[in-house]
Structure 1
């Protein structure tokens, strides 16, 4: 009987030891798993932070690119608008000046046909008055940017400045393809052609 009790006690002790060992192993295993989970949890936020940082950096780069493009478009628009405004101001009186050119032409014709007879004082006074009015008008128009073209007679025909109203046989070989005569003067307004010179070209 005593032997069986001793044997039973030994079995119980062994079972207790085995149970304690198993519990310790389970505790160690659980601790390891907990540490692994904790490590994963610590690593995961860092990876998420890196992903978020990369996304934010990409978004920032895109916004910067959009901003630079928008700024560039606005600067181009501002320069273009300023240039158009300046060009408009330079040629704002174009229609009026073109209309007045006919008056300038009339004054020039009056000058050519006025007699230079020194004995006729009335006619000379009239001619001087015409000259005075013409000079004032031309001076006023020049102050607004008007400039007459150089006399193109004897020079090469230039389509950008001249308008050929007719062609005639050239009086000499060196006048072929050149301006033989100028019928009407050409004018520029701030370097823009507002009236082409009407010319006769030699063929």
Structure 2
């Protein structure tokens, strides 16, 4: 009976020892698994950094040809060739803008020079027109029927028509209100029958070239 009790006690001791050993082995296994997990995270972090540092990777396709794969983790830096192209393109756009401004400025200056030249020629031609008008005004009614007088009148009309087509037009004076922008008053008179500040008589006809006064009208103003 005592031997059986000892055997039972010995069996219980053996079972307790086996349980302790299994518990220690489980703890060691859990610790090792944790260390492996930490190592795995560190390796993954290192691999990510390596992928970020590498800009391009060369791989081989099914045909054995190498091709470059761009990284998705970092923006590719611009190539020097692309930067040079952008610089030259910027210079080209600036040159085109400057040339366009120069062209517009040249056209404007050309138009102004043409207008100044035309006004200068017209100012020199106006005395010729005045002489034609004085000469035609001095011809009598009988002389107007002659070939010479008719020829002079045709030349005068042709000259006036040509200048009118070029932009010359006479300034209206007689019967109009006096305007210093168009009229030059050289005489003043009183006339109760007429209104105030009116042009009563014109001594020399004035002209405008387009929108500019070439010569003011010489007039007499009443009241």
- Per the normalisation by structure 2, the TM-score is 0.55
- Tell me the C-alpha RMSD between the 2 structures: 4.4
Q: Are the equivalent residues in 1 in contact too, given 2:173–2:183 (CA < 8 A)?
A: no
Which structure has the highest helix share of the two?
1
Q: Which runs of 5+ in 1 are unaligned?
A: 1-13, 53-59
Choose which of 160, 168, 186 in structure 2 pairs with 1:146: 168
**For this pair of structures, how many residues does the alignment match?**
172
The answer (yes or no) to whether the contact 2:189–2:220 under 8 Å persists in 1 is: no
2: CA distance between counterparts of 1:172 and 1:73?
65
2:197 aligned counterpart, secondary structure: coil
Q: 2:139 aligns with which of 111, 114, 130?
A: 114
Higher relative contact order (CA 8 A, sep 6+): 1
1:82 shift after superposition: 3.1
> Which ranges in structure 2 are unaligned for 5 or more consecutive residues?
1-23, 54-70, 79-85
- Which structure: larger Rg? 2
Q: Does 1:180 align with 2:206?
A: no
CA-CA distance at 1:41 after TM superposition? 5.9
| Residues 90 and 190, structure 1, Cα contact 8 Å, conserved in 2 | no
1:96-175 alignment, distance < 5 Å: 96-116=121-141, 118=142, 124=146, 126-149=148-171, 151-160=172-181, 162-172=182-192, 175=195
- TM-score, normalisation: structure 1: 0.59
Deviations 1:93-138 (A, max 9, x none): 321221111011011112222233x3xx699555334323323332
